[in-house]
Chain A
């Protein structure tokens, strides 16, 4: 019962459309909130909502394993790390508001041009969306398949990960290890040999002692 609940629910008429528009509406609103909120730590928390709605969209696409992985990795792990980084970098000191210089003495056409130049990244992103959309609706030869996703998709994924894609799987683990060590090395900071008064610290004094039992062979 529990395993075929989602496909039977999705096969009902218009349920997928309604759920799609509900989730995308939430997701777009939250993403705009991420981009425009003045307080960076609040936009970090709003990002949890974006990832949650995107995992709902993964559920709509019947990718249950990836929906849960999305919640575990993105909504908990990465967002938590972002929030910790924000706390360590003390975002209250940062004034997010950009200083915008308006020149009131320009003629109107030059004002419009200056506004376009100020918002150039906005126009570039709008243009990129229009380009992507044009390419999408211009291409109508997708080799669509009528089959449903097999109910044991996790089994298919696991089989592929340890047979055909075992080399990239190993490389991914090596990459994660390297990124872990690199992040620790970057975030660790300089080794402090002397404290503020100029005295050497306890660790250095312990290293200098000849009768330190931990350093003897």
Chain B
């Protein structure tokens, strides 16, 4: 076994710790989701053939990718087709909520995966927009008179503007001292 090469871990330890924390949060969240709606998982497993269609679609996309298809086209088609399959027979509120969940998950992926700090901020903006869609959908379909959801969206917009300003200023300050915006090289607090 002389030709075994040592696999170097490409992700930094900060990214890995974040991923593990998110994984634990997802596990806790799924447990809480089961508590919140005891038959949610059962519904998916038992009588949602659309869900299995999405998994089959992802498998087809994986096979086409391994044959040599273009990655972006396959990912886009798979996500779009899964979204349409999952939302076509739902009421309108659930369509908006599913769209918001999809945007939130995509923003989560971009936030963890990106190496450029500015792209991390862009992904956070995507996640905040998903939250805004949730709030406005609820204020449209649940509370259309008092419109409390739209009020909260105004405050979220304010906080998002402040967050973008301060975040980009932090990125500029770090760039001035480290000459980089690579997340893997922000090791100022590493012990």
Contacts and interface: CB of A to CB of B under 8 A. Distances in A.
Interface of A: 16-17, 20-21, 24-25, 27-29, 31-32, 34-36, 40, 43-44, 47, 50-51, 54, 57-58, 61-63, 65-66, 69-70, 73-74, 77-78, 81-82, 85-86, 88-89, 91, 93-94, 96, 98-101, 103, 105-106, 114, 118, 120-122, 124-139, 142-145, 147-150, 153, 156-157, 160-161, 165, 168, 172, 175-176, 178-180, 182-184, 186-187, 189
- Which 6 A-B residue pairings sit nearest by Cβ, starting from the closest? A138-B40, A138-B37, A179-B162, A186-B169, A125-B109, A132-B101
Contact of A172 (B4, B33, B40, B158): B158
A63 B139 contact: yes
Given A20-B96, A88-B175, A139-B40, 4 more contacts: A63-B139, A85-B118, A94-B182, A157-B150
A32 B98 CA distance: 16
A142 B169 contact: no
B96 A94 contact: no
Contact of A135 (B40, B147, B166): B40
B75 A36 contact: yes
B144 A149 contact: yes
A17 B105 CA distance: 23
B93 A144 contact: yes
> Which secondary structure dominates chain B's binding surface?
helix
B115 A96 contact: yes
Contacts of B106: 28, 31-32, 35, 125
Interface in B151-180: 151, 153-155, 157-166, 168-173, 175-176, 180
B153 A189 contact: no
Contact of A31 (B48, B97, B126): B126
A180 B108 CA distance: 27
B145 A131 contact: no
Interface residues of B, number: 103
A147 to B, nearest CB: 5
24 contacts: A20-B95, A24-B99, A61-B136, A74-B129, A89-B175, A98-B115, A103-B4, A124-B19, A124-B22, A124-B108, A125-B112, A127-B26, A128-B26, A130-B44, A133-B101, A134-B37, A136-B98, A142-B142, A145-B144, A175-B162, A176-B161, A176-B162, A179-B162, A186-B173
Contact of A101 (B7, B23, B142, B143): B7
Contacts of A29: 76, 80
A182 B169 contact: yes
B62 to A, nearest CB: 11
B174 to A, nearest CB: 9
A74 B124 CA distance: 12
A138 to B, nearest CB: 3
A131 B93 contact: no
A163 B146 CA distance: 13
Interface in B32-83: 33, 36-41, 43-44, 48, 72, 75-76, 79-80, 83
B112 A124 contact: yes
Given A125-B109, A132-B101, A187-B172, A101 B8 contact: yes
A86 B186 CA distance: 17
Nearest to A126: B105
A165 B155 CA distance: 10
B91 to A, nearest CB: 8
A18 to B, nearest CB: 12
Given A50-B126, A69-B157, A85 B7 contact: no
